[in-house]
Chain A
Amino acid sequence: MKPDTRCYAARVDNLDAVTRFVGTCADRFGLDDGTRFRLLLALEEAFVNVCRYAYPEGTGTAEVTCESDGDAFALAIADRGRPFDVLSLPEPDTRADVILRPVGGLGVHFIRTCASSASYRRDDGRNILRMVFRPAESGDQP
C-alpha cells in the first residue's frame, strides 16, 4: 500500500473523518478485524491527544499517514505543536479503586497496548508519533 496522507484541523469533532480515512486504508490493506479495532483505538487516543494538548495557544493541524511497513500497517500522526513525547508519560495504575483512580492517563496506555510498536521523533518542528500494527496470525483471537 502506497503512503496516503491527509491533513486535518486538530479538533475533536474531526475524529469521525479521521477514523473513516484510516478505516478505509485498513480495509484496502486487508487488516483483520481485531487489529483494525486496535488501530482505530490507538488512532483516537493519539489524535485526541493532539487536539487537546498540542496547541495550547491556538489551533493547528494533525497530519495522518497510513502506509505498509513490510507485512504490517503503519500509522503516523504529526503535529506542529510544542515538543511533546506522549510515550514519555508514565503508565497508569489500572488496579486502583474506582473512586481513588485519577481520571486520565489511559490514552497512552492504549497506544502502547494496541500498537505492536510505537516510536516518537521530533523532526523539522513536528512531533511525529508512528505506530506499527502487525496483523493477527490466522487463528488468533480478535
Chain B
Amino acid sequence: MEFQARREAAAVVVALVGRLDAVTAPVYETRMHELIDGGDVRVVIDFERLDYISSAGLRGLLVTAKQLKAKGGQLRFANIQGGVRAVFDMSGFGSMFQLDESVASALTALS
C-alpha cells in the first residue's frame, strides 16, 4: 500500500494505493495518526487507486474516524468503487460515512 498525502486549502487529501489489509493497515494507522496529531483534522481519503480492503483495513478507517471525531475534525471518503465498494456495502460502512463521487466534491463539501 502507498499512502500519499497532499494539502489542499480545505483539507488534507490522502490517496491510498494498492491493498489495505492486515499487513498494511498498521502502516496506514501510523501515518494517519501522525497527520491528525500534527493538526490535520479535516481529511479526505481518496480510494480511486485502492484495489482491495479487508476487515483490518476497515478497522483502520474506523480508528481514523474516532480520532477525528474526538478532535472535532471531519472525514470524507472519495471515489469508492469496485471491490472496495462491495466491501463497504457488505459491512454497512457505506451508510456510516460521508461518501463523495470525487475528491473535488469532497473538498467542496468541506470548504
A interface residues with partner B (beta carbon < 8 Å): 12-13, 15-16, 34, 37-38, 40-41, 44-45, 48, 51, 94-95, 97-99, 101, 103-104, 106-107, 109-110, 113-114, 142
Chain B positions within 8 Å of A15 at CB level = 21-23
Q: Quote the shortest CB–CB distance from B55 to chain A (angstroms).
A: 4
A44 to B69, CA, bound (A): 29
| Of A34, A104, A110, most B-chain CB atoms within 10 Å | A110
B interface residues with partner A (beta carbon < 8 Å): 21-23, 52, 54-56, 58-59, 62-63, 65-66, 69, 82-83, 86-87, 90-93, 95-97
Chain A positions within 8 Å of B21 at CB level = 15, 44
Q: Is the CB of A110 within 8 A of B54?
A: yes
From B69, which residue of chain A is reached at the shortest CB distance?
A99
Interface of B is mostly: helix
A38 to B52, CA, bound (A): 10
From B51, which residue of chain A is reached at the shortest CB distance?
A37
A-B pairs, top 8 by smallest CB distance, nearest first, are A94-B92, A106-B55, A37-B83, A48-B22, A107-B55, A44-B54, A98-B96, A113-B90
Q: Quote the shortest CB–CB distance from B9 to chain A (angstroms).
A: 26
25 A-B contact pairs sorted by A residue (CB < 8 Å): A12-B23, A13-B23, A15-B21, A15-B23, A37-B86, A40-B52, A41-B87, A44-B21, A45-B54, A48-B22, A51-B22, A94-B92, A95-B92, A95-B95, A98-B62, A99-B69, A101-B62, A103-B59, A103-B62, A107-B55, A109-B55, A110-B54, A110-B87, A110-B91, A142-B82
A94 to B94, CA, bound (A): 10
Question: If A98-B66, A99-B66 touch, does A16 touch B87 (CB 8 Å cutoff)?
Answer: no
| Of A48, A97, A114, most B-chain CB atoms within 10 Å | A48
A99 to B97, CA, bound (A): 12
A113 to B55, CA, bound (A): 13
